[in-house]
């Protein structure tokens, strides 16, 4: 028996009988695409907008009223973080254009995308938490004339716990979802290259 028999079996399937429900696929595609685009835009937008908003709040008193000039520092840090986030996103888009347009290129692109996501999540502390914490420390401990130590006693640990939980959740997400997914793509790439 040779391969021609297999080819005959394959050719015997009536391709014309296989029909797609094109309208329902098209409808599902349009809906999914719109919801995905919305989600990505909202997520990125909210992160950048939050940093910009916080920056504006820090700048308000020093710029408009000319006091508490020290708040300019966290404002600049927030602005820099927002700019860095925007640049990160743009760099990734540019980099992805350079990948080879083959299945292997798509797999490489997925691995790069996952690496990028993992890195962005791991750096969350630096681009989001640090600017905000810096601002809060300055606002509460340096500028606030009331010196409400009892409030700080509650607020400080509560904030630390929230940040700790956020970081724990991020690491859990990386360990349970992103790293295994990356590993699977790497295995796939190995399957492609091990016979080269």
Partner 1 sequence: MNPRQQERQLQVWLEKHQGLLVKVARSFARNRHDQDDLLQEIGLQLWRSIPNLNPDVAESTWIYRVALYTAISWTRKDSKHREKRQTLAEEPIANEPNPDPRVDWLYEKIAELNPIDRSLALMMLDGIQHRDIAETLGLSVTNVGVRLHRIKKHLSSLLDQETTDEL
- Residue from 9, 64, 146, 150 in contact with partner 1 (CB under 8 A): 9
154: tokens are: 């509650």
Question: Mind giving me the DSSP string for 57-100?
Answer: HHHHIIIII---GGGHHHHHHHHHHHHHHHHHHHHHHHHHHTS-
- Residue from 42, 70, 106, 143 in contact with partner 1 (CB under 8 A): 106
Whether 125 and 162 have beta carbons less than 8 Å apart is answered as no
Region binding partner 1 by CB under 8 A among candidate stretches 47-55, 80-88, 96-104, 166-174: 96-104
Exposure b/e, 148-176, CB count within 10 A at least 16 = b: eeeeeeeeeeeeeeebeeeeeebeeebee
Region binding partner 1 by CB under 8 A among candidate stretches 7-15, 38-46, 150-158, 167-175: 7-15
Region binding partner 1 by CB under 8 A among candidate stretches 43-51, 94-102, 143-151, 160-168: 94-102
Comparison of 6 and 70: residue with beta carbon closer to partner 1: 6
- Binding positions for partner 1, rule: CB under 8 A: 1-3, 5-7, 9-10, 12-16, 18-22, 25-26, 28-30, 32-33, 100-107, 110, 181, 184, 188, 191-192, 195-196
């Amino acid at each position: 028996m040779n391969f021609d028999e297999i080819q005959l079996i394959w050719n015997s399937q009536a391709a014309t009988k296989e029909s797609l429900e094109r309208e329902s696929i098209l409808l599902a595609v349009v809906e999914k695409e719109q919801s995905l685009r919305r989600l990505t835009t909202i997520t990125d937008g909210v992160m950048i907008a939050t940093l910009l908003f916080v920056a504006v709040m820090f700048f308000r008193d020093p710029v408009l009223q000319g006091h508490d000039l020290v708040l300019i520092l966290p404002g600049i840090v927030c602005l820099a973080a927002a700019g860095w986030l925007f640049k990160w996103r743009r760099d990734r888009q540019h980099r992805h254009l350079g990948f080879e347009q083959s299945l292997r290129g798509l797999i490489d692109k997925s691995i790069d995308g996952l690496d990028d996501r993992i890195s962005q999540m791991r750096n969350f502390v630096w681009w989001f938490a640090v600017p905000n914490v810096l601002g809060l420390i300055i606002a509460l401990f340096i500028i606030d004339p009331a010196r409400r130590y009892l409030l700080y006693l509650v607020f400080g640990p509560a904030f630390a716990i929230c940040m700790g939980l956020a970081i724990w959740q991020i690491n859990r997400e990386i360990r349970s979802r992103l790293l295994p997914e990356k590993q699977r793509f790497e295995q796939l790439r190995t399957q492609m290259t091990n016979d080269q």
